[in-house]
Copies of this chain bind each other. A is one copy, B any other.
Amino acid sequence: MKQFIALVAILLGGCAAQGGLNIKEMGSFHVGGREHTVSGQPIKTVMFTVGGAPAKLDPNGVYQVEQMYVQYFVPANGRGTLPLLMWHGGGLTGVTYETTPDGRPGWLQYFIGQGWTVYNSDAVERGRSGWAMTPEVFKGDPVFLTKENPFERFRIGAGAGSYNKDPAKMKLMPGSQFPHEGYDNFTKQGVPRWTTTDNAIIAAYTALVDKVCPCIVLAHSQGGPFAFKVAQARPDKVKALALVEPAGFGDMATAGVLKNTPILTVFGDYIEQDSRWPTIRGNVLRFLGEVGKAGGKYEVVDLPKIGVTGNSHMMMMDRNSDEVAGVIQKWLALQGFVR
């Protein structure tokens, strides 16, 4: 009988242990947004599809704008005590956390596999969230990045001129963990972004928090300051922040409101020699200091100091992405969020 029970246990365990994911529920929704009215414009005739039939298009009317797309996965064997919201960085989408540019499972799969219910979203105006008329709704010009821009700015390549279309000729940071042979795939993940839409983005993230939290927010880069600000607006609902190289901070004057929200920040390699990251990191630490003064708990992990080297700004894509995810997972467990 004991052997029988042991076998049954192995078989049941095998459901999730086949290297795959046992998903109890998956789906998506849009959240937030508002209506925007256009008037006084002439009616157009549009042929939507070659071989179709012409349709009249009256541009006057009410438009849906500034909503946000969210895809979610609920694992069958949940181990996280709260849902995990994953917020990407600027010029990107939730694809950041999916398959890495060299084809390995990304942090989305990692955290689902660890038993977290994950909500992975595309910020307002990016990806499946859609975007609104510019300059009528979104002010200013959208920003497009050249293929070499993130290579230099995200601490993958060793400074100006380090990019080359041929991976064999790229000048990488010494010891870089970025899978540079997949850099071309990474550039395909990029989407245009505005620099004037912060308020709309924050409003939609807040609507998401109001819908699915209490929760933990895992955010990267530009998602970091959004996470700080939304947590400050909803300190009762955002129970922890795990921030990967946050590119900014929250409202300094009310930092203390986060005194009951444990905060982890993770920084990669090559920060000191970068022209921008020492300033950015310093600003974040100044904000965290204010949280600390109010009695808040935060931890700053500089990966090289714990022996994890070679990480770029896109550490969820680096060759040791699972090792970095493990640092976050361990911290979440230490905070008591893992069953």
Contacts and interface: CB of A to CB of B under 8 A. Distances in A.
Contacts of A195: 46-48
Contact of A95 (B38, B60, B69, B248): B69
B146 A53 contact: no
A55 B276 contact: yes
Interface string A122-148: 100001101111000000000111111
B30 A19 contact: no
A338 to B, nearest CB: 21
Contact of A20 (B25, B28, B64, B149): B25
Copies of this chain per assembly: 2
Contacts of A232: none
Interface stretch (A8-16, A172-180, A235-243, A294-302): A8-16
A30 B98 contact: no
Interface in A182-237: 184-185, 187-192, 195, 198, 221-222, 225
A192 B50 contact: no
A63 to B, nearest CB: 6
B146 A190 contact: no
A249 B50 CA distance: 8
Nearest to A109: B26
A51 interface: yes
Interface in A1-59: 4, 7-8, 11-12, 14-15, 18-30, 33, 35, 38, 46-53, 55, 57-59
A49 B188 contact: no
A289 interface: no
A306 to B, nearest CB: 25
In order of increasing CB-CB distance, the 4 nearest A-B pairs are: A51-B248, A61-B146, A30-B188, A27-B99
